[in-house]
Chains A and B, each alone.
Chain A
Amino acid sequence: MATESIKYLAPDTENKAKTQVFPRPGQHTTGLIDWLTTIDHKKIGLMYGMTALFFLIVGGLEALLIRSQLWDHNMDVLTNRQYNQMFTMHGTTMVFLVIMPLSAAFFNYLMPLQIGARDVAFPRMNALSLWCFISGGLILNLSWFFTGGSPAIGWFGYAPLTDTRFAEVVGDMGPDFWIFSLQILGVASLLASFNFITTIINMRAPGMTMMRLPVFTWMTLIVSFLIILAFPAITIALVELMFDRTYGTNFYDFLEGGKPHLWQHLFWIFGHPEVYILILPAMGIVSEVIPVFSRKPLFGYGLIVFSGAIIGFMGFAVWSHHMFTTGMGVVATSAFAMLTMLIAIPTGIKIFNWIGTMWGGRIRFDTPMLFALGFITMFMIGGFTGIMHSSVPIDAQHQDSYFVVAHFHYVLIGGALFGLFCGFYFWLPKMTGRMLNEKLGKFVFTLMFLGFNLTFFPMHYLGMIGQPRRTHTYNEGHGFETWNQIATVGAFILGVGIVIGIYQFVSAFFNKKLKPAGNNPWDARTLEWALSSPVKEYNFARTPIIKAKDQAWENNYGPRENHAEKEPLDDHGVHMPDRSWWPLVTALGLFGLAIGMLFHRNIDPSGELVRDYTVPILAGSIAIIGMIMWALEGPGGYHLFPKENDE
């Protein structure tokens, strides 16, 4: 475009350049090297999104295998062990490799645009998060190829299923892959969250006060806090489990004094906030979409923000409702039951606010709005069954039945995934500069909505009549067949819908025949819609001075004094940080460290256990060298000189 640029050298960059092992990619890098070394939050967001969509297909295929196995009584599409592996990998993949990174994709792409920043606070650390996420996903799926295959312990990994003595296959490495993969994914999530918190607190444009932040950015902040406070619990639990399996400690070994119950507590202290980590981003997306398609401001902005914060806070006080049947005692059980019922209040507030937003509005039923409405209705069904489970006696009845499967899929597909698809249909025109085909979008919604309900609604009934979950088959004569067959048909319809949706998202980047979107095709409200589509690499040619909530809307329709101003063009131009190899190198080092630790134990010919730490030490050194070089190279940078109105 009409952008002139020069290479900018900080006074000491020339000296640093000499200490480089390989040259730092410059301003005009393109192609593969650009993608590998990029620190642009938009490109990182896209890579998060595309990798997560790939894993959505992987996890979806696993789900379809499960559904095929349950088509009829005593089927043998999968053996019982393969079935256990499938539901373990399906759960772990969908939670850690699909919903969380899809949320991270939107956080990365949108949050800096919504607050008027040029990037996140630590762009290279952001790249490290991405590469750690990809490494974690690889390690988990590499498990298929080694002793014992994938983990068969459930996504919750309950002790003593993870105890080496009870492994179905001698030397089963599945749980080890699972442990190391989750640790590295934890690093990715924690680093990304530190980054987002710093960015939102510290890098808002002038005038962008906390109570003017778009709701999606607020939810990013709340989710980031949930991640940094919840992930330590699972990380330590996994470290303890790793020590149990690798060095013979007794944390969860009930034969030697350990308590499997402790694992459940540590897992769910993480696991329940995790539920809100999965759903709050979708709530943020829907809170952005509904006002736009109702042509009304969000009803009760403050209440939506604060109920989000309260949900996040209370999310730490309800974990034991996953453990009502473990016999914690009356006091603990009642307290957790009460708190669980209480958390329905802020959730209800949000739903009433969304309804209040639509009330009296001029509603347009475009694809994003359809998904948003799908979200509200389906999430409500999941929420209602959730409130049912807060009652201890009902929970005891539903425990480990298909009713629970129905409940959390209504929350995680009908809720989280519909919300994220809503986000894709809403923001892809901003990301690609092209409108998606509305007819195809509505067709995808119809398929997904029908398929989803066909799959999971019958599961409520199956659970009530007694079908247990996590069981690879059922006998004749229980009357399970019909409803299972309906569910399986539904699952395939849902799968087709999702695949067409993904095709539509990916092709939006390449299909030049699609209608150009322009800056603000939906007549939307928040700051990112004031920029060009797709957004320029420097985001804002001139930093905006924010005057109101919903700044893009105010610019178009608000009174004069609410129009955003812009800081004057800087003589120095826009400072852009340089690309870097070191995040990728550091992540490769961590990947090697995990692989090295997985394979450092060998049995020598005399039957002795031999430990060889060569690979972990080498790989760990690579990671450390990566970090040192990272620190020494500094942010670097070059300057761009956009023209007056170039954004």
Chain B
Amino acid sequence: MSDASAHALEHHEPVTSTGIPNKKVLMWAFLGSDCMFFGTLISTHLIYRKISATVGGNFLDIRDVFDIELTSFSTFILLASSLFMALGVSAIHKGNLKSMRWMLFGTIIFGAIFLACQVYEFTHFIHAPGNELTLSTYRGEPHVFGSTFYVLTGTHGTHVAIGVFWLIGWLAYSFTGKMSVAHAIDIEICGLYWHFVDIVWIIIFPVIYLMEYAL
């Protein structure tokens, strides 16, 4: 890096009181806030799961709809994507642009596989013959399970999709020739976001899916 560009970067990343870059503090504050978003959604789901446990007079057994093998697979894929993300952050810190590209690419692909699984899952749940789970009904009877389930997992999916597009943006930017180790902080906060979205899924998967099988 030339002296001139080092000089410019000084202006962009001023010394901070804590020594932590501003962008990182911002991301941590956002993630704290996002905890409350998901906390509200998960609470809503669990409360309704308890108080609306029947449908049309019968016990609601959602295992008839869920495809736990598929969701376990997509869970594994999402968790694995975090490894790529971590390696990508590590690569840009070392200035290894080529390695970072491959790692971001891996993260994007795994994120996309997870999203594809979710789209498949939603389509199948809505059209499951005899067990249709829509936003407002289950087996044709009015119910809240579909509302809480789709809005919660859909919000999580939206987070993953935002992450995927964000990473695609950086992957594209890495080909402009302007990217350097100075952008490590930007990839790092992407990583923070990505790991957080993963952690949320680590809560959603047992609480929303696996618990149905522990009855």
Separation in Å of the B45 CB from the closest CB of chain A? 11
Do residues A194 and B169 form an inter-chain contact, with CB atoms below 8 A? no
**Residues of chain A from 212 to 243 with CB closer than 8 A to chain B in the complex:** 228-233, 235-237, 239-240, 243
Interfacial chain B residues near A194, Cβ < 8 Å: 26, 29-30, 33
A94 contacts chain B at the CB level, 8 A cutoff:
no
A124 contacts chain B at the CB level, 8 A cutoff:
no
CA A12 – CA B8 in complex, angstroms? Answer: 9
- Which residue in chain B gives the minimum CB-CB distance to A632? B173
Known: A11-B5, A628-B169. A201 touches B17 (CB 8 A): yes
Known: A237-B40, A251-B147. A257 touches B52 (CB 8 A): yes
A294 contacts chain B at the CB level, 8 A cutoff:
no
- What is the 8 Å Cβ interface bit string for chain B, positions 23-34, against chain A (1 contact, 0 not)? 001100110111
- Which residue in chain B gives the minimum CB-CB distance to A251? B147
A250 contacts chain B at the CB level, 8 A cutoff:
yes
Separation in Å of the A128 CB from the closest CB of chain B? 13
- Per the CB 8 Å criterion, the residue count for chain A at the interface is 48
Separation in Å of the B196 CB from the closest CB of chain A? 14
Do residues A231 and B33 form an inter-chain contact, with CB atoms below 8 A? yes
Interfacial chain A residues near B36, Cβ < 8 Å: 228-230, 232-233
Separation in Å of the A261 CB from the closest CB of chain B? 10
Interfacial chain A residues near B30, Cβ < 8 Å: 194, 228
Interfacial chain A residues near B32, Cβ < 8 Å: 228-229
Choose among B143, B169, B178 the residue that contacts A12 (Cβ–Cβ < 8 A): B178
Separation in Å of the A430 CB from the closest CB of chain B? 24
- Which residue in chain B gives the minimum CB-CB distance to A210? B17
Interfacial chain A residues near B178, Cβ < 8 Å: 12
Do residues A250 and B8 form an inter-chain contact, with CB atoms below 8 A? no
Do residues B25 and A232 form an inter-chain contact, with CB atoms below 8 A? no
**Residues of chain B from 82 to 114 with CB closer than 8 A to chain A in the complex:** none
A122 contacts chain B at the CB level, 8 A cutoff:
yes
Separation in Å of the A271 CB from the closest CB of chain B? 14
Do residues A257 and B29 form an inter-chain contact, with CB atoms below 8 A? no
**Residues of chain B from 147 to 183 with CB closer than 8 A to chain A in the complex:** 147-148, 150-151, 155, 169, 178
B215 contacts chain A at the CB level, 8 A cutoff:
no
> Is the contact region of chain A dominated by helix, strand, or loop, or is it mixed?
helix
A575 contacts chain B at the CB level, 8 A cutoff:
yes
CA A259 – CA B47 in complex, angstroms? Answer: 10
**Residues of chain A from 183 to 210 with CB closer than 8 A to chain B in the complex:** 190, 193-195, 197-198, 201-204, 208
- Which residue in chain A gives the minimum CB-CB distance to B54? A257
Do residues B51 and A236 form an inter-chain contact, with CB atoms below 8 A? no
B76 contacts chain A at the CB level, 8 A cutoff:
no
CA A202 – CA B14 in complex, angstroms? Answer: 10
A256 contacts chain B at the CB level, 8 A cutoff:
yes
Interfacial chain B residues near A361, Cβ < 8 Å: none
Query: Most B CB atoms within 10 A — which of A193, A198, A637?
Result: A198
CA A258 – CA B41 in complex, angstroms? Answer: 14
CA A228 – CA B155 in complex, angstroms? Answer: 18
Interfacial chain A residues near B20, Cβ < 8 Å: 202
B37 contacts chain A at the CB level, 8 A cutoff:
yes
Known: A251-B144, A575-B11. A201 touches B37 (CB 8 A): no
Query: Most A CB atoms within 10 A — which of B25, B33, B39?
Result: B33
**Residues of chain B from 122 to 164 with CB closer than 8 A to chain A in the complex:** 135-136, 142-144, 146-148, 150-151, 155
Do residues A236 and B44 form an inter-chain contact, with CB atoms below 8 A? yes
CA A121 – CA B18 in complex, angstroms? Answer: 13
Separation in Å of the A182 CB from the closest CB of chain B? 15
Known: A12-B178, A240-B151, A250-B144. A198 touches B135 (CB 8 A): no
Separation in Å of the B58 CB from the closest CB of chain A? 14
A–B Cβ pairs within 8 angstroms, 23 of them: A10-B11, A12-B5, A12-B178, A198-B26, A203-B17, A231-B33, A233-B36, A233-B40, A235-B37, A236-B40, A243-B135, A243-B151, A248-B136, A249-B135, A249-B144, A249-B146, A251-B44, A251-B151, A255-B142, A256-B143, A257-B144, A258-B147, A262-B44
Chain A residues packing against B (C-beta within 8 Å): 10-12, 121-122, 190, 193-195, 197-198, 201-204, 208, 228-233, 235-237, 239-240, 243-244, 247-251, 255-259, 262, 266, 269, 575, 628, 631, 634-635, 637
In addition to A121-B26, A194-B26, A198-B25, 20 A-B residue pairs with Cβ atoms within 8 Å of each other are A11-B8, A198-B22, A201-B25, A204-B17, A228-B29, A228-B30, A228-B32, A229-B32, A243-B147, A247-B135, A249-B136, A249-B144, A250-B142, A250-B147, A251-B148, A256-B144, A257-B142, A262-B47, A262-B48, A575-B11
The 9 A-B pairs with the shortest beta carbon distances in the complex, nearest first, are A256-B142, A232-B36, A249-B147, A236-B40, A228-B33, A202-B16, A10-B8, A232-B37, A121-B22
